[in-house]
């Protein structure tokens, strides 16, 4: 166990404190059991270590990764008991989905050590969501950590402290951007390629992202769904079919034929890809449970993934615009498909297009806006796409 403490202290000493994501403030850190979910690479480990470094008593705190070799001969429950007996009060468990039977043991830790706080995180959103619905639904507070917004990317990249804007403020063109020598379009283009994940600071961002995507499709999803090797290969092929065609309106019959799958199996495969964060689904409005509403279009989870999976390192401008609009707005709103245009949010219609896009599609809308790229300032009902990156 001494090795775990030494590893923890080394990681803590290397944790940067120059920028702490605002997502940190959305978490109720006083809760006894906290679950932090998110795609690989969005910064969950760093966030936990930053919180420890800033707020916790290190003599009463331990951070471990569930894939540490220590757990080849010990259990999480055993570790918690030993740590508790030594006066431990806060136990942080990273990559928990890599530990078999994690949800049962965390439930037992929660029940048997009522003064021990446990914070756990993992990159397999599927496994964590399943665990929270089963043993931990009444005990754990789950939080899903998104990738960087355009605002956060600017703050990290340039050392700024830009504030978020509400949807209403954005529709009025009110965002906290330091115009003058700085031009938003330049930064936006950089963000589209590498800015969604904090590891853009470390170099080799494209390679890191490709590795994360492959780990999700080849390891996380197949393990969760208990897929055969053949089924896992079909899942990977489906991802590339969807990626090449996104935004894509799913046809279960056609996809089933292309992949030699039952048409009834295709929706399951798509739901795995959506739940993993690799894709975002745009659904029709008017359903009380949005997840059960019909999928109108499938988009890649963010523009960085789109670039990573493109064959020539380029993506179509319209695809990128709509991908980013959905990825950003879904964090604070419930965007749905629109009968008149591209998107609808709370009765407001949004047509997403280029700088010269005309407002034909929104003429019939009660309230409508044009969302454009290559535009620096809002004017009337024309809003720059990059401004929606300030929603969180």
According to CATH, what is the number of the domain 2-145? Answer: 3.40.50.300
Rounded CA-CA distance 296/247 in Å is: 10
CA-based nearest residue to 385, from 376, 367, 373, 377? 373
What are all long-range contacts of 53-56, with beta carbons under 8 Å and residues at least 24 apart?
53/12, 53/15, 53/17, 54/17, 54/20, 55/29, 56/90
Q: What is the secondary structure of 258-306 as a DSSP string? A: HHT--TTTHHHHHHHHHHTTSEEEEE-S--SSGGGSPEEEEEESSHHHH
Peptide bond into 247 cis (omega under 30): yes
3-state secondary structure of 372: strand
Band the pLDDT of 38: cuts 50, 70, 90: very high
Over the stretch 260-319, which tens digit does the pLDDT of each residue have?
Answer: 999 999 999 999 999 999 999 999 987 655 655 789 999 999 999 999 998 887 888 889
Distance set, CA 139 to CA 35, 99, 119, 388 (Å): 10, 19, 12, 34
pTM equals: 0.92
**Which band of pLDDT confidence, cut at 50, 70 and 90, is reported for residue 139?**
confident
Q: Report pLDDT digits (tens) over 157-176.
A: 999 999 999 999 999 999 99
Q: pLDDT grade, residue 378 (50/70/90)? A: very high
Sequence-ordered list of residues with C-beta below 8 angstroms from that of 332, at least 6 positions apart, any chain: 167, 391, 392
Q: In angstroms, rounded to a whole number, what is the distance separating the alpha carbons of residues 316 and 306? A: 10
pLDDT at res. 124: 76
Q: Residues of the chain with pLDDT > 90: what percent?
A: 82
Residue 197 φ/ψ, nearest 5 degrees: -115, 135
Q: How confident is the model at residue 133 (pLDDT cuts 50, 70, 90)?
A: low
Q: Sign of the C-alpha dihedral, residues 225, 231, 233, 235?
A: negative
Give CA–CA dist 294/301, Å, rounded: 18
Structure tokens at 119: 């914070």
Report domain extents, the chain: 2-145, 152-390
> pLDDT tens-digit profile of 70-104?
999 999 999 999 999 999 999 999 999 999 999 99
């Amino acid at each position: 166990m001494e090795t775990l403490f030494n590893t923890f202290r080394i990681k803590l000493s290397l944790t940067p404190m120059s920028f702490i994501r605002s997502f940190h403030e959305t978490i109720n850190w006083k809760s006894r059991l906290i679950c932090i979910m998110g795609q690989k690479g969005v910064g969950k480990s760093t966030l936990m270590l930053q919180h420890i470094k800033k707020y916790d008593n290190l003599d009463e705190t331990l951070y471990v990764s569930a894939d540490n070799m220590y757990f080849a001969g010990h259990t999480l429950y055993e570790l918690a008991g030993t740590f508790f007996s030594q006066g431990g009060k806060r136990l942080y468990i990273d990559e928990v989905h890599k530990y078999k039977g994690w949800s049962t043991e965390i439930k037992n830790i929660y029940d048997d050590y009522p003064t021990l706080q446990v914070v756990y995180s993992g990159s397999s959103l599927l496994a964590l969501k399943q665990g929270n619905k089963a043993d931990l639904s009444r005990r754990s507070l789950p939080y899903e950590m998104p990738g960087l917004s355009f605002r956060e990317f600017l703050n990290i990249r340039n050392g700024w402290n830009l504030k978020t804007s509400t949807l209403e403020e954005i529709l009025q063109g009110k965002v906290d951007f330091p115009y003058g020598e700085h031009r938003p379009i330049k930064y936006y283009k950089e963000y589209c390629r590498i800015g969604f994940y904090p590891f853009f600071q470390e170099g080799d961002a494209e390679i890191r992202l490709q590795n994360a995507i492959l780990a999700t499709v080849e390891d996380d999803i197949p393990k969760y769904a208990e897929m055969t090797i053949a089924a896992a290969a079909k899942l990977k092929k489906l991802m590339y079919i969807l990626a090449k065609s996104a935004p894509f309106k799913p046809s279960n019959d056609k996809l089933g034929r292309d992949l030699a799958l039952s048409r009834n199996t295709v929706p399951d495969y798509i739901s795995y890809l959506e739940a993993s964060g690799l894709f975002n689904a745009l659904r029709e409005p008017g359903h009380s449970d949005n997840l059960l509403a019909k999928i109108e279009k499938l988009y890649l989870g963010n523009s960085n993934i789109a670039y990573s999976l493109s064959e020539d390192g380029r993506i179509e401008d319209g695809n990128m615009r709509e991908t980013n609009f959905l990825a950003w707005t879904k964090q604070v709103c419930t965007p749905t498909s629109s009968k008149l245009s591209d998107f609808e949010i709370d009765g407001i219609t949004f047509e997403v297009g280029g700088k010269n896009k005309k407002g034909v599609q929104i003429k019939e809308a009660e309230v409508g806006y044009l969302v454009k790229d290559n535009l620096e300032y809002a004017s009337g009902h024309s809003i720059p796409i990059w401004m929606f990156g300030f929603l969180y």
